[in-house]
Structure 1
Amino acid sequence: MTQQAPAPKTRRFAGTPAQIRSAASVYKALAYATGVMLLLVCVEMIAKYGFQADIVAGGMLADGSSNTLGFLPSGTFTGGVNLSKVVLIVHGWMYVAYLIADFRLWSLMRWPFSRFITIALGGVVPLLSFIMEKKVHGEVEAELAKYPQAAKRY
């Protein structure tokens, strides 16, 4: 009786390589955009809590002079746009889009749920989105190269 070699481990993806690469590209773009916005949120928080200042564009100062762009003490301006709030709102919605891209890539790759959580943390820990993007993108390409036959054919 002869022994047969064990069958090689196979991996199944939930989409085609093209769908997975597309999801990885969207994730990559949103990871960079969310990371940049998170750094701007950090600048805004340092200005607000460290120097009691807001980032403001336009408007009038309390002494009647006009402002174009700058860090102004909180409550000393009227009119204009409070860019501090704009940065917070844009980052919040961008993070939602980042989570959707994360979910799509995670579900196509059929990774464990803990992987989804670690990728999601990239949008709330400064600089982590850049690190995670490089790591995740490399893993996606490596797994697609390792298991070329694993993707579903539609």
Structure 2
Amino acid sequence: MRSALTRYRVLAYITGVWLLLLCAEMVYKYLLLDDSSKAPHWLFYVGQIHGIFYMLYLVFTIDLGIKTRWKPATLVITALAGTIPFLSFVCEHYRTRQVREEFLS
């Protein structure tokens, strides 16, 4: 249980950081630049990297959800937390506290 929680926590933070970078990239590309085609080409990879980390986040969220026997609604809400800026950090905090209280005390 402890290792599943650790994997979930690490991916929640990584996914959250990359999502914030993706939001910053979109603001820069579509609001600050006059022509989005003039954006550096490497900015394209920010979204791709976030997508990869989000898929890993989903795998580890499902793994933790199965081990802790979360209700389907809890699992879906936790999985969607990686798509809303800052929510992955908040959700990670609450889920970690919940798992530690129920299983690791």
TM-score normalised according to structure 2 size: 0.92
Specify which structure has the higher proportion of helix. 2
What SS is found at the alignment partner of 1:122?
helix
Counterpart in 2 of 1:74? 36
Give the Cα–Cα distance (whole angstroms) in 2 for the partners of residues 115 and 105 of structure 1: 11
Paired positions, count: 105
CA contact (8 A) 2:22 2:50 kept: yes
Give the Cα–Cα distance (whole angstroms) in 2 for the partners of residues 106 and 143 of structure 1: 13
AA paired with 2:42?
A: L
- When the two chains are superposed, the root-mean-square deviation of aligned CA atoms in Å is 1.7
AA paired with 1:37?
A: W
Structure 1: give runs of 5+ residues left out of the alignment: 1-19, 54-72, 147-154
Which whole-Å deviations, capped at 9, do the CAs of 1:87-136 have from their partners, x for residues lacking one? Answer: 00000010000000000000000111001111011100000000011110
Specify which structure has the higher proportion of strand. 1
Which structure is richer in relative contact order (CA contacts within 8 A, separation 6 or more)? 2
Deviates more, 1:96-105 or 1:83-92: 83-92
TM-score normalised according to structure 1 size: 0.64
Shift in CA distance, 75/27, structure 1 to aligned 2, threshold 3 Å: same
AA paired with 1:46?
A: V
Give the Cα–Cα distance (whole angstroms) in 1 for the partners of residues 60 and 72 of structure 2: 15
- Identical-pair percentage: 36
Give the Cα–Cα distance (whole angstroms) in 1 for the partners of residues 2 and 30 of structure 2: 41
Give the Cα–Cα distance (whole angstroms) in 2 for the partners of residues 82 and 27 of structure 1: 31
